[in-house]
Structure 1
Amino acid sequence: MTALQRDLAKLIRQDIQSMHAYAIQPSAGLIKLDAMENPHRLSPELQAQLGRRLGTLALNRYPAGQVDDLRAALAKYAGMPDGFDIMLGNGSDELISLVAMACDVPGASILAPLPGFVMYAMSAQLQGLKFTGVDLTPDFGLDEPAMLAAIAEQRPSIIYIAYPNNPTANLWDDAVIDRIIAAAPGLVVIDEAYQPFSSRSYIDRLARHSHVLLMRTMSKFGLAGVRIGYMMGPKALIAQFDKVRPPYNISVLNCEAALFALEHAGVFAAQAGELRKERSRIQAALAALPGVKAWPSDANMILARFPDAQRTFDGLKAHGVLVKNVSRMHPLLANCLRLTVGTEGENTQLLSALKASL
């Protein structure tokens, strides 16, 4: 390291220097089943329609009323309760960061079950907040006594409840969630990133509470490349978080693509239905493989434990299939791989590669 580099390094927080950037696996030439993306593209006809719409946009102007149109369309699509408001983010990741930023007062902290979405803990670290993780049970259920004890001891400002959870893909007991919400001294954020594939949603119970926010993303809807997240909550609460949102954080291109998708919501609903059907097929096939345990899923991914996760991961990759090795993320995930549900053809190749790898 040169003297200049040493001087510049003093400007960067030590905890940042010791962190690792979010890793994205190289996927060129592979069947990409590692990131919970919708594998279906728009039809050529819809691609042409969208292209024409995007081509007419005034790219020389900042986003304006179009963003409000998207907020209204998402609120209607989600069935947002009266008296609530909606805020947009550049993906859910930005919303998670903004919530931490707005709640950064002395003594503030964040609490979430583990294993869970890495951005909950990362947002706390980046904002200088304390993070408390509470381990799930061995079968990835919420450990209610441990959660309630941690809430009583830590008095967290924010509790994250993923519904369903990533990477375990399961929904937790609603009665336990209700008791956690009742015990929360601060905010509870219900993260429904995988709502298109889930058998339940919290949206019908959202109006019961003044301290609960519901977060969703259009990534799993089928627009991972568009980067639209949205968060709903009581108007007065959303107004406070909106103060820390960067101006013009949603581009006109992303906004128009999202509006177009919502106008064709039936197409994406059909895709989600196909993926749920394929999910069942994969789970049935996994159940027939010796030495493999797969957990129930309400998302577009399946968590499965193998005799040797790294060997299976390498074998799949050698057969042209890329999945996510989560076995080192948390002790409860030992020898686990996370498999994204792909197209019928991709899933057939996944299952063939699994048999060969095992």
Structure 2
Amino acid sequence: MPNSTGLVKLDAMENPYRLPEKLAAELGERLAAVALNRYPEPRPTALIEKIKRVMQVPAACELLLGNGSDELISMMSMACAKPGAAVVAPVPGFVMYAMSAQFAGLEFIGVPLNADFTLDVDALIAAIETHNPALVYLAYPNNPTGTLYDDADIECVIAAASNSLVVIDEAYQPFAQQSWLSRAADFDNVVVMRTMSKLGLAGIRLGYLAGKASWTTEFDKVRPPYNVNVLTQVAADFMLDHLDVLDAQAAELRAERTRLEDAIKALPGATVFPSAGNFLLVRVPDAAAVFETLLTSRVLIKNVSKMHPLLANCVRLTVGSAEENAQMIAALKLALH
């Protein structure tokens, strides 16, 4: 990852807003009281119950906590690893699905999306029938495209993957405002994964997986013993009491996303794809030149054009604060003149 010191950092889908000063001071007092000389609870029951209550997790679901979604993906890969096992996911998608599969010795089968970044349902179902995968990942919405897949298409995939576990990854749910969480217990082969990173707490590294105990119990067997540290547990517990602050920040970012999209659509040579995340995928005449021009203007974005052929000449722009977005738009005007 490039050194972002001194740059407007809009490359990693982070929430640009800090906590209000009073709230940050209160959190600091809570963190200062933590017994750093003691190991954390391996399964922090009170925190798990609080997440279930605040996030309205169905009663029939259990929760598994991870050091961000990355660790949950790693745990699932490890638990499902056996000779001949495979993972299926649409591509382009979140790189950790493929990387974790590779690290665990699983075969990864990427199924290309349609040109408009919607699911190629027939191709996805064909891959599931051919490879009988242990895991099928569906990001809702998808990174790096921002696409919110059609619910009917997802239901078709769930039905076709009756011998697989379908992982619905809702990392960007605060910006999509649509969710499968309430239906997680309606299927025997579905779990829903979320993270607190996009809510504005990327630094504490906390993800959670909701699903039937028949799945979470098995994944828990490969969980490192103290995978969620004491500072993360206390910070998460504190912020769950102040979710209104984070929700207000997410609402502001949704409004900024609309303003940013409108501004970029007015620029020559830019094609903006619909996004339900806190980022926009934009096709430009020359992604490398746009990236370098913005970097010269001290704005850091992500050039995703080499990730997959479908992303040719695409850049991904994180939605920042109004001031940050104004700087990015000014730099884009220079790049696309």
With the length of structure 1 as denominator, give the TM-score of the two structures.
Answer: 0.92
> Unpaired segments of 5 or more residues in structure 2?
none
CA drift of 1:66 comes to: 8.2
| Cα 1:66–1:56 shift into 2, 3 Å | farther
1:66 and 1:255 in contact (8 A); partners too: no
What whole-Å deviation, never above 9, does each CA across 1:39-83 have from its counterpart, x for those lacking one? 000111111111111111111111128822221121112211122
How many angstroms apart in 2 are the aligned matches of 1:291 and 1:258?
43
| Corresponding residue for residue 7 of structure 2 | 30
| Corresponding residue for residue 69 of structure 1 | 46
| Corresponding residue for residue 126 of structure 1 | 103
For residue 249 of structure 2, the aligned residue among 271, 292, 312 is 271
| Corresponding residue for residue 237 of structure 2 | 259
For residue 301 of structure 2, the aligned residue among 313, 319, 323 is 323
What whole-Å deviation, never above 9, does each CA across 1:115-146 have from its counterpart, x for those lacking one? 00000000110001111000000110100111
* Helix, strand or coil at the partner of 1:225: helix
Q: Matched residue pairs, number? A: 335
| Cα 1:66–1:44 shift into 2, 3 Å | farther
How many angstroms apart in 2 are the aligned matches of 1:314 and 1:263?
42
Let me know the Cα RMSD of the aligned residues.
1.0
How many angstroms apart in 2 are the aligned matches of 1:67 and 1:204?
23
How many angstroms apart in 2 are the aligned matches of 1:136 and 1:66?
38
The one-letter code sitting in structure 2 at the alignment partner of 1:49 is: E
CA drift of 1:200 comes to: 1.1
The one-letter code sitting in structure 1 at the alignment partner of 2:331 is: A
CA drift of 1:285 comes to: 0.7
| Corresponding residue for residue 222 of structure 1 | 200
Segments of 4+ moved more than 6 angstroms: none
How many angstroms apart in 1 are the aligned matches of 2:18 and 2:265?
30
| Corresponding residue for residue 12 of structure 1 | none
How is 1:1-358 mapped onto 2 (pairs within 5 angstroms)?
24-64=1-41, 67-184=44-161, 185-358=163-336
What whole-Å deviation, never above 9, does each CA across 1:298-335 have from its counterpart, x for those lacking one? 11000000011111111111111000000000000000
What whole-Å deviation, never above 9, does each CA across 1:72-106 have from its counterpart, x for those lacking one? 12111221112210000000000000001001122
> Unpaired segments of 5 or more residues in structure 1?
1-23
2:14 and 2:202 in contact (8 A); partners too: yes
Q: Which moved more, 1:158-167 or 1:70-79?
A: 70-79
2:42 and 2:227 in contact (8 A); partners too: no
* Helix, strand or coil at the partner of 1:283: helix
What whole-Å deviation, never above 9, does each CA across 1:241-268 have from its counterpart, x for those lacking one? 1111011111110111111111110000
The one-letter code sitting in structure 2 at the alignment partner of 1:35 is: A
* Helix, strand or coil at the partner of 1:339: strand
Q: Which moved more, 1:148-157 or 1:62-71?
A: 62-71
With the length of structure 2 as denominator, give the TM-score of the two structures.
Answer: 0.98
How many angstroms apart in 2 are the aligned matches of 1:222 and 1:68?
23
* Helix, strand or coil at the partner of 2:6: coil
How many angstroms apart in 2 are the aligned matches of 1:39 and 1:59?
29
How many angstroms apart in 1 are the aligned matches of 2:101 and 2:156?
24
* Helix, strand or coil at the partner of 2:269: coil
